[in-house]
Amino acid sequence: MTSSRRLPHGRRGWTLSPWEAQSLEIPATRVSAFFSLRHRETGRSRGLFPPKFQCILFLINPMTLSIREFVDADREAADVLLKLAFRSSSSRLHDLWLYRQIQPDGWFIASLEEHLVGMVGATNYGAFAHVGLLAVHPDVQRQGVGLTLMQFILARLAQQRIPKVLLDASEIGRPLYEKLGFVAYDETLVFQRNNNPAVLERTPHIQTISIRELDELVLWDTNVFGAERRKVFRVLLETSPERAFLQRDEEGRLMGYVFAQKNRIGPWAMLHACNPEELLRAALVLPYEETISVAVPSVNREAIRLLKRHGFEQVRTNRHMGRGGSEPPGQRQKIFAQTSLAIG
C-alpha cells in the first residue's frame, strides 16, 4: 500500500499498483469502482489495469457488483471478455446466442463502473441445473468477482428450488467451487481434431431426426441424462435440422442419437448397446467451422477409445462437480458427448 488519503463522505482511497491490488485479494463486494488509472509519470487515465499503471480503489461498505441479465446486445462485449478470461482466440458468439435461446433468463453479466468484468449462467433442467461460462476479466481476477457471481447464481437457483447444481470445473476454478460446497463426481475430458470432413457413407440404420420424433427422443434421453432437456433438442433441431441423427435397430427401436453443432459434437448418447461408431461417422461427414471439440464423461471408456481411433486427441481435463448430492444424476456411462461444458 503506497499511500492513503481521506476522501469525501468518510470514504478512504488507496493508491495501489495492479500487483498490490491483486495480492490483497480485495473482495468485489467492497469495491465500488476502479475509479481511475493514471500513468505514474503523465497522470493520464487509461483502461483497466494496463502494465506500469496505478489504480485508485474507492472502498465503501456495503457495495456490490452491478449484475444484470445478459441480452443480445451484450454478445460482442461478452465474446471479448470470454476470450480474455479463457485465454482463447476462439469466438463464442454462436454459443452465446445458442445458450440464450435454450435458457433466455439464465445468463448474467457483471460490471464495475460500466466496465464488463464478468459473466455466469445456468441452464435449468428442473431436476438439476448446470452452471457454466463463469468468466472474470484478467485485470480483476482474484478479487472476489468470481465468488460474487457464483453466490448470485446459486441464490437464484435456490429461489427456483433447484435441488442439485452441476458444473465442469477447470483446475484453476476448482478451489472456488469446493469453497462453495461442490464435490467432485468424475471428470469431463475435452477431445479435439482438425476439421477434415471424412469420406464416409451413412448406414441405413442412421437417419436425420425430425421434429415429430422429439417426444420419443426426450422420453428415452431423460433416463440417461437424468432430467428432461426438450428445450436443448428443440433449439438444436430448429437451428440445424440436417445436423441431428438417430440410430434405430432392425425392429425400429431407438438405439442412440447425436447432434453436430458448428464446432463440436454433442449431445451424443447411446440409449441401448448398439454401434456408436455409426453415429460418429454420420457426424464426421459434416463440415465444421473450426476444430471439432467433444466433451466426454471420463466414465465412458468406449467413447474415449472411439474418438482416439478417429484421430481425436485429449486437450483438457475438467472436474465434473455437483452440489446437493453425492452422486451425479443420470447414467453418464451412456453419454458419449455433452452438449458443451457450459450447459452439460
Per-residue model confidence (pLDDT) at position 201:
64
Say which residues have a Cβ less than 8 Å from residue 313's Cβ, sequence separation at least 6.
191, 192, 193
Q: What integer pLDDT is reported at residue 108 of this predicted model?
A: 98
Q: Tell me the backbone φ, ψ of residue 253, rounded to 5 degrees.
A: -75, 140
pLDDT of residue 36: 31
Parts of the chain with a pLDDT under 70:
1-64, 197-202
Q: Are 66-163 and 192-337 in the same CATH fold? A: yes
Q: What is the pLDDT of residue 202?
A: 63
Cβ 112 vs Cβ 65: under 8 Å:
yes
- Residue 118 CA to residue 144 CA, distance in Å, equals 11
pLDDT at 113: 85
Closest to 96 measured CA to CA, from 132, 125, 140: 132
CATH no., domain 66-163:
3.40.630.30
What pTM was computed for the model?
0.82
In this prediction, residue 62 carries a pLDDT of: 31
User: Residue 38: what pLDDT?
Assistant: 31
Q: For 137-173, how does the pLDDT look when each residue is reduced to its tens digit (9 = 90+)?
A: 999 999 999 999 999 999 999 999 999 999 999 999 9
Farthest CA pair distance, the chain = 80
Q: What pLDDT sits at residue 344?
A: 98
Per-domain boundaries in the chain: 3-59, 66-163, 192-337
What pLDDT is recorded for position 65?
Answer: 78
| 278-327 per-position pLDDT tens digit | 999 999 999 999 899 999 999 999 999 999 999 999 999 999 999 998 89
Q: What is the pLDDT of residue 205?
A: 80
Looking at the domain that runs over 192-337, which CATH code has it been given?
A: 3.40.630.90
